[in-house]
Amino acid sequence: MMMPLLPEVPVADKAAAVDAVAAIAVEFGRDDLANRLVVAAARVRRPATIVCVVGEFKQGKSSLINAMLGLDVCPVDDDIATSATTLLRFGDEPSVVVRRRRGDGVTVERVDPATLADWVTEGGNPDNSRGVERVDITLPHPLLANGLVIVDTPGMGGLGAGHAAATLSFLPFADGLIFVSDASSELSAPEVEFLASATGLCPNVVFALAKIDLYPSWRRIETINARLLHDQADAPVVVPVSSVLTPTGSELPDEKLVEMSGVATLLARIDSQIVSPAKAVAAQRALHEALGAVRQMKSALETELDVLDNPSHLAEIVARLTESTAHLEQLRGPGARWSIVVADRLSDLSSNTGHQFRGAMRSVSRDIEAGIELLKTPDDWDQLARQLQTSVADAVTKVFVEIEGGAQSTRHAVVDLIGEDSGDDLSASTRSVQVELASMWTSRGIDALGKRGTRQLSSALVGLRGAQGGIMMFGMMATFLPAGAAALLMSNPITISIGAAFAGVQLADARKRKIAQRRQQARSNVRQFLDDVQFAVGNEIGDALRDVQRSIRDEFTGRISELLRTYAETAQTAQRAATEHGEFAQQRVVALGASLERLSLAERSLARSSAE
């Protein structure tokens, strides 16, 4: 079967330019610079681009992903639905890795790809009884070869339940979103509300109007949806798609059917709106790193040439290099200013985010408690639970966005400080704090009896018991009356009315008890959920901050080590150059001139490419 691919985009010249600088670094014996540039060029060719596919249950999300890949990867069936988040990424060999919670810990295990449905579907894993947090699938597929990571999310059942909350929390760290809704009807109010929230967190949103092959009036639905989204800022473009026409057209083969499916249009939109911008960001960073490497190598050669032309400058040059090396050694030590700055800033960030999150949780708790006081029915609880999860998701999102902003601010501060101390231009990398929050909401109800029919039967039995009690009471009273009066009393409609009154009293009392029980159960559910969230998010905050600290430490320690090597080797070549004389010195001057010209050309080319 033919597989639809992203539009063919030639590898950017920027990646080739970085590769060229890496090759020059190898020639000059700077394997440390070359290794870093090889990684940077790889990021240009395959930037990690995360795209979430979201929507309500049975809208065709998994079928659409299969159509995009041209493979039956995600399980699809009328009776099952995706129950766990699934990540599809590139890999040399197909594999499935399951991450799930067991007890107080998390286990990661590799499973047979043939058993995937047992882990990610409602049929194989009802109500996520296996505690699956995520499933990672790797495929040697051309669509994923550019670094695209597709996230298949569980259906969100009204887009206000826990899965929607978890998705909104993840969006600030995703590069794009594919929202799927089928053409059977226009967008619901929760879907419109979700899209408004999603576009605020992740501007790169594509709307896939699915199953157009099943609904002849899909164009009318498309028009209505566009009108519903018209007032939203950055409203997503609607792309009509059919997941059935793509494989059918590929098997016949019929290019017209493949084109009508709209999948190629969707892939083109993903490329232009999500993948290409990610490549552009990676390319700018790689060019900046390559430019810094060229300037380091160029500075070393210029110093050697200066000594060859003016041996009297040796003492001054060596003194300057020695002083710079001493500064860098201080920067590498545990008491370095930049290290203290990182520790202080992250300590403040930890305190601020922790305080912010605890305050948000207290505010959520107060709001929900006020709602519980008015709660009467399970439907009231469903609405309150939706409000609770949405509020918590918003609070969690804000905390981790704050962490990411603080991390970038800290990194830029270190760049300025090290650049000031070392006299070199260091670039700040742009790494995202990857946050993954498992859904901690597990369908907590407030009625022990559960289903509505059972609740109605229970109420009827309470009423019957009340009526029976009232009639029995008056029956006992009748034994003290004359026989005629007793017979009249027991046969009179008044007796039945009295029994009904007693039944009403019993029902009213039972209803009050039931409402009190529901409110108590609701409070218990809220406390448990908020406790779970605060425990899990507290750990996530700590892990995220530690990862940020390690990232900054490793990044800048590596850059300082590169500069130390540059200064040390420059000092050695300068001293060696001072001893050269005659014909060899002249040959070395010519060779250095050629190398400097080569590096200057590379510098100008990189600067020009970076400015484009």
How does pLDDT run across 204-260, given as a tens digit for each residue?
889 999 999 999 999 999 999 988 888 776 788 889 999 998 888 887 888 888 888
Higher pLDDT among residues 582 and 429, named by residue: 582
Q: What confidence tens digit (pLDDT) does each residue in 490-544 have?
A: 445 555 455 555 555 666 777 788 888 888 988 988 888 888 888 878 887 888 8
Task: Give the chain's mean pLDDT.
Answer: 78
Q: What is the mean pLDDT of residues 369-390?
A: 84
Contacts of 320 (CB under 8 A, 6+ apart): none
How buried is residue 29: exposed, middle or buried, by Cβ count under 10 Å (0-12/13-18/19+)? exposed
Per-residue pLDDT at 405 exceeds 70: yes
Residues 6+ apart with CB under 8 A from 314: 307, 574, 575, 578
> Does residue 349 have a pLDDT over 70?
yes
148-152/49-54 β-pairing:
parallel
pLDDT confidence bin for 410, thresholds 50/70/90: confident
Q: Are 180 and 169 in contact (CB under 8 A)?
A: no
| 230 vs 421, higher pLDDT | 230
| pTM (2 d.p.) | 0.66
Q: Tell me: the pLDDT tens digits for 159-175? A: 444 555 556 666 666 78
Q: What is the pLDDT of residues 79-105, one digit of tens each?
A: 556 667 889 999 999 999 998 877 767
Closest listed residue to residue 209, CA positions, set 221, 194, 217: 221
Quick check: helix, strand or coil at residue 70?
coil
pLDDT band at 156 (very low <50, low <70, confident <90, very high): low
Least confident segment among 369-378, 381-390, 446-455, 575-584? 446-455
